[in-house]
Amino acid sequence: MYHLRWLLFLLFFLALFYSAQGQNSNIKSSQDTTKNIRINLNHLLSEDEKEQAEADSVIQQYINIDNLLEFTNNWKVKSGDDTLWKEPKFDDSAWDEIADSARDNKNYLSIVWYRMHFDIDSSLLNRPLAFILHLYGSAAEVYLDGKLLKKFGTVASDLAGEEAVFNANPQPIAIVFSKLKDHVLAIRYSNFHRTSAKISGFNIGQNFIIKFKDLNDEINDALLTTKKSALTVFVAAIFLTLAIVHFIMFLYYRQKITNLYYSLYCIGIFIFAFYTYHLVTSTNYASIAFISKSLQFLAPLMVVPIVAMLHTIFYQRFRKILWIIIGAYGLMIILYFFTTRNAANLVLVILMMISFVEILRVILVSVRKKRDGAWIFAMTLFLPVLLGIVTSILPDQMSFSGMNFEIKPSQFVFASMILGLPFSVALYLARDFARMGKTLTKQIGEITELSTKTIRQEQEKKQLLENQKTILEFEVKERTREVLDQKNVIEIKNREVTESLHYAKRIQAAILPDIKKINQSLQDLFILYLPKDIVSGDFYSFAQRDEKIIVAAADCTGHGVAGAFMSIIGTALLNQIVNEKGITEPSEILTQLNDGIVTSLKQRESEMNEGMDIALCTINNKSKTLQYSGANRPLWIIRNNEFQYYKPNKIPIGGQQYNKTDGFMQHNITLEQGDSIYLFSDGYVDQFGGDLGKKFMTKKFRELLLSIQHLSMNEQKEYLLNTLIKWQGKHDQVDDILVIGIKIP
């Protein structure tokens, strides 16, 4: 498993590397193409007619692409501020020249002016063009041939007065050139915010980028951008809704912690989508800078909660890799505030890569091991591949209702990768919630049916006895013979009732754990189980989850039918808590059991005081540890013929004291080879007997267990049974008896 994890990590890293290489190749190719099609218009206009015709052909080819006009001659630049510098006839020959590459990311400590002289080709004359200016945290005033085109923010001589603009998607300005030569583009510019941004760790793009594009094409691009922005808002709204819904589900049912993890994940996607929308639609540099810096801290929300959720679903615990990821998150925050931003960014990249690899590993391993629900998450991996294959087979364009649609496999694959995981998780959580509801409904129906049947039998028995009593009183006065006849009738009815109780006993025996199954996990063990009546109010419980074994001995209120009914409810609730919810901590199990009894018997709305006493422990044979919690029933351990006593909470499960329960304390015990563990009800020590007809008592029971430590567990059971029979003598059994003994190998 260790090698598989690092193999996946290596494959993921290689994929990123080759993807980056491909992007760099595309960028270089694009730059070479742009370089080949750029035109020095001043030079073209000075050539003869033949060269001019060739230039017109090149320009016409250039018009068909996005960029219509770019400046290749150098800019004129000067620090200071004078309104005369916007005039076309101003002599700027003494100004410094600066190339585009030298202008990029240059910081100024005052207002500066840029001037560019250019001519245009005849193909651009009287043609509606769009002037586009990209600014990345600075302010500018643009003048064309001495006339103000537009102000972007507020140009100032200091940081306080400057109003910076960040326009990743600027609005175009419509212009029309009415002459060919002697055009001057002047820009009044300040970028104090960019200087301060480098100190705070946020700096994107160049000082400014100027483009001339076809106006109609730019309008179409703007409409397309608006549609994409609307789609981004729609996606953000979906994930915000999912986050709210699953957080509310978590608040109402906090045992399902996966709803909280999914809610955090959806919040991360919502914040990212909101940032994307804000970056496209807003020009407020301060808000964009704040959100961009905040993304470094919020980006892990898109992966870390998914790792935690997958660990919870498929492992029922957090694996070490998740703690490593969380530790890297904390390290990133420390590096961000106390060292360079590059170190923090590197840790963030590593954190995200490890998280993605772990998500992929958990899904693949879970599918291979055929774990429940793994196929749902597998759709996240296979859906992009399937869509990529299907869309690659389809034609590049398809028509529908007179409209043409362009099909790009990469877009389908990317969309499925982004949306596949969240909707797979939502599908799994919905399926899990529906399954849990069906299980609870079925169990409640079974318990209701059993309780109805038992109550009906009790009512029939009571009614029968009342009728027979009336008949007997009447017949005794009349004639003895009929009394004897009625006695026979009563005996027949009593046999029927007894047979019903024996049937109930078989039901109770079927619900109790199979001793053979218990012996598969705990080889050296005995269970002394002696109901007072046909059915018992004492019961024992057993469950195993992974390497943890849960054993419990419980004593319900009363005995006979009433006690048996309570034992059935207790057994069903314990099975639900341990086997379905996966809870193995004894204190949490008792807390859940207490809530279940109170809810099942509606003790908050009535004065019912039924409940149970219980001792429950979780044994880990692998780590040789034991966890114990009890409600009025202790745990005894005998080690090297020395007695160890572990106290329970002095409060029962259920009853009218439910509102006094602040939680059950839990004892964590390290086991040793040869330890003897005992859980028991109070039936053995409360049994009357002996020469004086007194109770057996706890002290004598403890001394008895100490005296038989040399015997095996089966021999101890026989010894305890023989001692009880001898002690009881002719006295009736006063209560149900349950003793569990476990020897640690």
From 75, 179, 168, 51, select the one nearest 127 (Cα to Cα): 179
Over range 153-167, report the average pLDDT. Answer: 86
Say if residue 499's pLDDT is above 80. no
Query: What local confidence, expressed as pLDDT, does residue 205 receive?
Result: 52
Whether residue 558 contacts residue 537, with contact meaning beta carbons closer than 8 Å, is answered with: yes
Query: Worst-scoring range by mean pLDDT, 132-136, 499-503, 644-648, 682-686?
Result: 499-503
Q: Are residues 438 and 465 in the same domain?
A: yes
282 within domain boundaries? no
Query: What local confidence, expressed as pLDDT, does residue 63 receive?
Result: 36
522 within domain boundaries? yes
Partners of 214 in the beta sheet?
129
More confident residue, 615 or 200: 615
Say if residue 626's pLDDT is above 70. yes
Segment 15-45, tens digit of pLDDT = 333 333 333 333 333 333 333 323 333 333 3
Most confident of the ranges 267-281, 419-433, 573-587: 573-587
Other CB atoms closer than 10 Å to residue 582's CB: what's the count? 13
Q: Are residues 682 and 569 in the same domain?
A: yes
Average pLDDT, the chain: 77
16 within domain boundaries? no
Question: 617 exposed, middle or buried (CB, 10 Å; 0-12, 13-18, 19+)?
Answer: buried
Q: Record the pTM.
A: 0.43
Cα(478)–Cα(473) distance, integer angstroms = 9
Cα(214)–Cα(221) distance, integer angstroms = 11
Segment 118-129, tens digit of pLDDT = 888 888 888 888
More confident residue, 344 or 85: 85
Q: Are residues 549 and 506 in the same domain?
A: no
Other CB atoms closer than 10 Å to residue 700's CB: what's the count? 14
355 within domain boundaries? no
* The domain boundary residue, chosen from 451, 485, 511: 511
Say if residue 57's pLDDT is above 50. no
Query: What local confidence, expressed as pLDDT, does residue 645 receive?
Result: 95
Angle between the 341-368 and 304-315 helix axes, to the nearest 10 degrees? 30
* The domain boundary residue, chosen from 185, 205, 220: 220
At residue 69, φ and ψ (nearest 5 deg) are -150, 125
Query: What local confidence, expressed as pLDDT, does residue 55 receive?
Result: 37
- CATH number of 163's domain: 2.60.120
At residue 123, φ and ψ (nearest 5 deg) are -65, -20
Q: Are residues 579 and 468 in the same domain?
A: no
Q: Are residues 615 and 738 in the same domain?
A: yes
Query: What local confidence, expressed as pLDDT, does residue 439 receive?
Result: 79
Q: Are residues 117 and 152 in the same domain?
A: yes
- Residue 453: alpha-carbon gap to chain centroid: 43
Residue-range definition of the domain harbouring residue 117: 63-220
130 within domain boundaries? yes
Say if residue 289's pLDDT is above 50. yes
Residues 6+ apart with CB under 8 A from 92: 76, 78, 85, 115
36 within domain boundaries? no
264 within domain boundaries? no
Q: Are residues 502 and 522 in the same domain?
A: no
Say if residue 308's pLDDT is above 70. yes
Look up residue 332 and give its two tokens: 């990133």
Q: Are residues 615 and 730 in the same domain?
A: yes
Query: What local confidence, expressed as pLDDT, does residue 8 receive?
Result: 36
Segment 663-690, tens digit of pLDDT = 899 999 999 999 999 999 999 999 999 9
Segment 690-711, tens digit of pLDDT = 988 899 999 999 999 999 999 9
- Number of Cα atoms under 13 Å in the Cβ half of residue 115: 28
Question: Residue 643: what residue type?
Answer: F
Query: What local confidence, expressed as pLDDT, does residue 200 receive?
Result: 45
Domain count, the chain: 3
Q: Are residues 502 and 521 in the same domain?
A: no
Q: Are residues 478 and 539 in the same domain?
A: no
Cα(176)–Cα(621) distance, integer angstroms = 85
Segment 71-111, tens digit of pLDDT = 656 788 999 999 899 999 999 988 988 876 556 667 777 89
* The domain boundary residue, chosen from 469, 484, 511: 511
Cα(162)–Cα(477) distance, integer angstroms = 116
332 within domain boundaries? no
Cα(345)–Cα(349) distance, integer angstroms = 6
Whether residue 312 contacts residue 258, with contact meaning beta carbons closer than 8 Å, is answered with: yes
- CATH number of 673's domain: 3.60.40.10
Q: Are residues 675 and 724 in the same domain?
A: yes
Segment 5-20, tens digit of pLDDT = 333 333 333 333 333 3
Segment 484-498, tens digit of pLDDT = 666 776 777 767 666
H or E segment and range at residue 137? strand 129-144
Alpha helices in 143-212 (DSSP H): 192-200
Alpha helices in 479-627 (DSSP H): 480-511, 515-521, 560-575, 586-600
Query: What local confidence, expressed as pLDDT, does residue 413 receive?
Result: 54
Say if residue 173's pLDDT is above 80. yes
Query: What local confidence, expressed as pLDDT, does residue 721 receive?
Result: 94
Q: Are residues 541 and 447 in the same domain?
A: no
